[in-house]
Structure 1
């Protein structure tokens, strides 16, 4: 059985003050198979965002292991994490995280640029992705010129354009 993403005994603690430590995650195990759709559910403050940040390499666990495919990523140096994120993971953030000075097309092109894809090919992929999401007439609009739903579609196009293993 091939797993896309796995975590073993994942723990995360935050030091709030010298004497106050918050335990955000306490020994989480999760295995997600390739092609499987998973929803992380729970009450506010239950650790959902913390778990997603750890699985997505946006934060380091206090202890435990995270694997993408067969590779343990928690053992990798911090400088390698952006490369793993860009190559393997497509993020769709709740707040979209679009760069306000870039057009819809440029926002979608950005991760492709960091993946080493040529400007010409990045532009082509960005246009294709945005057209699929019915945003072909908004390619050159900056986020403030787009509705919330349109911004969300740009964020989705950006996440999918590099064909990541994990979204």
Structure 2
């Protein structure tokens, strides 16, 4: 039969002492390969999941950045068009579209009911321009100031809010 490594005798030479130390302390206990495989699989799975999360996050971030860029470009173009017109010309252009105009006095609040059933509550120093009757594919109201809208539902006709900031 074969000899067990523990049955060997060792001398006092440094190489023998190194061999003895290796034999006594260097042999690992029983190794369970299945545990190592499971740990490796879990590690790989975690890395794949993190990689997928990074891809999704990058996609969302790039989409958001693109939308912000488009909104910024639209804002710049709109501001340049409006600011290039003289103030009086813009006001005349806006006023020519609407039939009715209401200006809320300082310190007051006013409630208006439009022809389509939309209710508007306007704060002090607010100007509202609106048509007597809404025609076409959309409903449009001009507001300069603060107003609360309770828009009457009509799925066939859109209600547009146009915000114009004049400095």
Structure with greater proportional helix content: 2
TM-score (norm 2): 0.23
Q: Which has the larger radius of gyration?
A: 2
Looking at both structures, which has the greater relative contact order when contacts are Cα pairs under 8 Å and sequence separation is at least 6? 1
